[in-house]
Structure 1
Amino acid sequence: MVLALCWSTGGVTRILDNVVGTHLRLSASPDYRALKARFGKAFDATWAMEYQRAAEALWRGYSESLGRWNDVERALTTGQQFRLAMRHKLIDGEGLALAYWMPERVGAGGAEYATCIRLIDPDRMSNPFQGPDTKNMRGGIEIDEETGERLAAHIRRAQQNDWYLSVEANTWERVPFEDDDGFTRVIHDFDRDRAGQHRGISAFSPILSHARMLARYYGLELQQASLAAALGTYVTSPYDPALVQEALGADDAAAQELNAYQQMRAEWSQERPAYFNGVKVPTLAPGESIESVASPHPHTGFADFAHEMLGLYSAATGLSREQITQDWSRTNYSSARAALMESWKTLMRRRGEFTTNFATPIYALWLREAMENGELPLPAGAPSFVEAATAYSRCRWLGPARGWIDPVKEPAGSVLRMEAGLATLESEGAEQGVDWEEVADQRQIEQKAYEERGLPPPKWAAIQGTGDFFKDDSESNAQKP
């Protein structure tokens, strides 16, 4: 139902484009303060910076591998896996993946890491043989009777309706959420609306009934427009056959007179054809006329009704009405910015929950292997990954930029926040989907290139304050003594 409606499909696309985009960029930020408090002063900001750069570089090689070794099926990059998992979460209510350890792939010309991920359609997770829920089995998830902890997931080997895999479709595999050595096997992300909930609910569930109403209304409106566009005509004559026959009598002579009249009408039309610009014009007998059938429209409230229904759709999805309809003709700058700011809060909440429950666990799986391979800088006596997994795996994910409606005023506000100490280049860059260190490194390269070529530095290279940067030359010259 979701994919059959253009508004739902567009809404899914808008959310994906804002939450994930083409990929999520890792910004590693190990909790060096926690590590320092627990394991010694060797864990400081300098070490954290070195660790961050190494982890991010190695992660890019893994997640964007040309061989797609991050994917069990070798079909998607990690960024594409994130996008597909988020799509499942929006439509099906949950994203599901299994982690595999495949050392046979590692080697020259092959994978660099044995850790790989496989996305699973959430429909495949169900109770074995479609059995009912019990106290320790809920929707394919095996739970601990005492604590409610998730122990294992029961997953079909194939889709339920795959007739060519009928045997596998009726075979369930029990996959523990975590191995004995702490290796996460099942990554299951969904939004919980109630305590004790074990399966997700689609974000579009509340609006399906309204979507059906609007889709039906569109169909009825199209039928009405088609009916109104059709031209129905009929020919009227002042002589009714029954009345004429009655007036002339019911004898044979009267019938012959009536037939003669009808024959005269037919001959009149055949012998006197008329054409206008190549189109034949009907010729009528004396006393006849052409009448049309009118099809009046009962009301004209379709646009307002659709606008109101899409407003309900907007409220349920957390997107603005303009993002749903892609119609900005009724919106000015202030209302558009207010609407986008409100929808941005929901989008950031979606991104935060998705990265916490799905992206970061995958990063932690890879990071564990990278650390065990000795590829990351660690001080002497550093704890193993298992001993401080949370501190080592701490990170942020940079997604698509929020963007600017006014590319002059809003950057000025960004600079003002940094000068007032209310923001940093890191936070402002993250909002625009860029890494502040990469920006600073690139600016250093560009300044050096200007110097080598003997060119005057660009205006931003000599910026001293917000006022100096956003003044034009006339204002600056006017203030000089």
Structure 2
Amino acid sequence: MGMFDSLLTAIAPERAVKRAAAQSAIRAINSGYSNYGASLHKKSMRGWTWHGGSPKEDIEDNLRVLRERSRDAFMGVPLATGAIKTMRTNVVCGGLTPTPQIDNAFLGISDEEAQKINAQIAREFGLWANKPTCDADRLDNFYMLQQLVFTGFLLNGDAVAVLQNKKSPGVPYDLRLRIIEADRLCSPSFMDVLSPCEINGRHVEKIVQGVETDAEGMVVAYWICDRHPLASTAAAGLAASHWTRVEAYGAKTGRQNILCLMQRDRAGQVRGVPLLAPVLESLKQLGRFTDAELTAAVVSAMFTVFIKKTDQSDEIPFGEMLPPEVQVDAPDKTSVELAPGAFIDLNPGEDVQFADPKHPTTGFEAFMNAIVKQMAAALEIPSEVLYKQFSTSYSAARGALNEFWRTTGMHRDWFADYFCQPVYETWFREAVCKGRIKAPGFLVDPAVAAAYMNCTWNGPARTNLNPKDEAAAAQMRVNSGFSTAAQETAQMTGGSYEANMRQRKSEAALKREVDEIAGAQAQQQTAVPERDGGDPGKDE
């Protein structure tokens, strides 16, 4: 107790009691995080402007700005372009390819028969996936659509694919994929519905950014605008926009009608966040810094001479870069443009001072690397991979690749589960209904259907810095039971172990046949033919 507290106790005991109680309450409040990250009294924390909200206030209400800035950075900031394309190439590359693996043990089918069924399924899927007819726009095949969808997911935070049916001459399957940019998935009249109401005679509980949920928060439908909200026709108001309500699942069949690919960061979130969102400010500042340094370097490289005369002259200045009739910029008598090796006249009495920019270009790379490392940590892309430079050491490069492999593996598994596999299952059902694939019990028992639709998706192979050591390590893992030959084949080459074994069997049989033919020919060439007649050493 201090001197003031002792004096207050002697003069006004009641106030002293209240003061003691208040001090005790403050000490109780200022405990744990209130002394650190949640402190409202420390000078270091007073300048922190903060505000929290629900996923709608923090995420959905800011999506328009985030998407447009993300796309702008992708189109104009090389580092942002590299981050998006690096993720796309390492996760999807040329497209994830399916390897049908039906559960023959559950179905009671022999291994030989299962191989035949798997091969037939792969051939049938190729009829649909390898041609642009699987695309509703008829531009890309299924594997190119994967690149488009994943790039849209990275740029916009989510990607939308509508599963449609359309008959076409000469096409055995009716399934079509309609890829829609995330902006078109928006609330009717661009206004979210936060309380129950009627829209076009339909009762609606809640619509946030085009995603309709029921009273319990379950997604039931998606609202798609017929035109892009940022299109010139929409901005000019030349035509009224209309929205189509697409149910998430068919009411009778339970078939998934639309795929909305997103990765949630918070419970209650219904739309995704662009990959570049956490680093947009740093990307823009780095872009400005790079432009400023580049401009400074260009200006410093220019050698411009200003000539001051005592008499005015109407003659064309000596050494002028471009004649007046072909000037690129609009004529401006108040401005003087710099150019390499240019000589510029000045009027009598005028004088200039040459701008000699002093920029610390020597520290440009070090500063860029320091900032890029922070952004790389946020994007889960090691700076070595982002720069495509492995100049430190073998162990550091291998560690960076291993860490990035975890990131790409996570994204690849998610993309296969939420895009590739649902599309594959929708196609498989159509193939069974049309009788192109025989699957007894498929339409009756969901367990049988799941056994027939079992499939693995293989992507680009893992980058190997030392293929010999990597192959030896893979062999040791398989021999020790830590992994399987199928897993190692998929990681190292992106192929299929079973397909490789079948191919090797065929090649071995072909090689034996060739060796037998070659051996027979060699024996014929080395054989000595017998001579006719008697003993050559005996005289006639």
TM class by smaller structure: 0.7 to 0.9
CA distance in 1, matches of 2:110, 2:513: 36
Residue in 1 that maps onto 2:434:
373
TM-superposed deviation, 1:449:
2.5
Normalising by the residue count of structure 2, what TM-score does the alignment of the two structures yield? 0.67
Deviations 1:97-153 (A, max 9, x none): 001122x32x4xx2101111110111000000011341511110111112x211111
CA distance in 1, matches of 2:138, 2:184: 20
CA distance in 2, matches of 1:152, 1:295: 58
CA distance in 2, matches of 1:42, 1:374: 21
Residue in 2 that maps onto 1:433:
494
CA change 1:230–1:137 in 2 (3 A) is same
TM-superposed deviation, 1:84:
0.4
- The answer to whether the 8 Å contact 1:161/1:169 transfers is no
Residue in 2 that maps onto 1:53:
119
CA change 1:456–1:310 in 2 (3 A) is farther
Residue in 1 that maps onto 2:228:
159
- The answer to whether the 8 Å contact 1:157/1:169 transfers is no
Residue in 2 that maps onto 1:22:
94
Residue in 1 that maps onto 2:59:
none
Q: Does 1:353 align with 2:414?
A: yes
CA distance in 2, matches of 1:171, 1:294: 58
Deviations 1:189-233 (A, max 9, x none): 100001111001001100110001111111221232233323466
TM-superposed deviation, 1:388:
4.8
- The answer to whether the 8 Å contact 2:293/2:359 transfers is no
TM-superposed deviation, 1:382:
5.4
CA change 1:438–1:31 in 2 (3 A) is closer
Residues 167-246 of structure 1 correspond to what in structure 2 (within 5 A)? Answer: 170-180=241-251, 181-231=253-303
Normalising by the residue count of structure 1, what TM-score does the alignment of the two structures yield? 0.75
Residue in 1 that maps onto 2:382:
320
Residue in 2 that maps onto 1:463:
none
TM-superposed deviation, 1:42:
2.9
- The answer to whether the 8 Å contact 2:293/2:361 transfers is no
Q: Which amino acid aligns with 1:178?
A: Y
CA distance in 1, matches of 2:227, 2:245: 14
How many residue pairs get matched?
394
- The answer to whether the 8 Å contact 2:135/2:141 transfers is yes
Q: Does 1:101 align with 2:165?
A: yes
Residue in 1 that maps onto 2:156:
92
Deviations 1:31-72 (A, max 9, x none): 455xx3xxxx6356555444322222211121002xx22111
- The answer to whether the 8 Å contact 2:233/2:239 transfers is no
Q: Does 1:125 align with 2:191?
A: no
Q: Which amino acid aligns with 2:162?
A: L
Q: Mind listing any 5+ residue stretches in structure 1 that lack a counterpart?
A: 237-261, 264-278, 282-290, 458-481
- The answer to whether the 8 Å contact 2:212/2:219 transfers is yes
- Give the stretch that moved more between structures: 215-224 or 117-126: 215-224
- The answer to whether the 8 Å contact 1:156/1:169 transfers is no
- The answer to whether the 8 Å contact 1:364/1:389 transfers is no
CA change 1:344–1:114 in 2 (3 A) is same
Q: Mind listing any 5+ residue stretches in structure 2 that lack a counterpart?
A: 1-71, 196-205, 312-340, 344-352, 519-540
CA change 1:156–1:348 in 2 (3 A) is same
SS of the equivalent of 1:27 reads strand
Q: 1:2 aligns with which of 51, 58, 73?
A: 73
How high is the sequence identity, in percent, across the aligned residues? Answer: 26
Structure with the bigger RCO (C-alpha within 8 Å, sep 6+) is 1
CA distance in 2, matches of 1:408, 1:387: 43
Q: Does 1:411 align with 2:471?
A: yes
- Give the stretch that moved more between structures: 360-369 or 428-437: 428-437
CA distance in 1, matches of 2:238, 2:249: 27
- The answer to whether the 8 Å contact 2:73/2:284 transfers is no
TM-superposed deviation, 1:403:
2.8
SS of the equivalent of 1:422 reads coil
CA change 1:235–1:73 in 2 (3 A) is closer
CA change 1:43–1:303 in 2 (3 A) is same
Q: Does 1:338 align with 2:432?
A: no
Deviations 1:318-377 (A, max 9, x none): 22212211223x322111111000000000100111111111111111000111122224
Q: Does 1:144 align with 2:214?
A: yes
TM-superposed deviation, 1:426:
0.7
Q: 1:64 aligns with which of 130, 136, 143?
A: 130
Residue in 2 that maps onto 1:453:
514
CA change 1:191–1:413 in 2 (3 A) is same
Compute the RMSD of aligned alpha carbons.
2.9
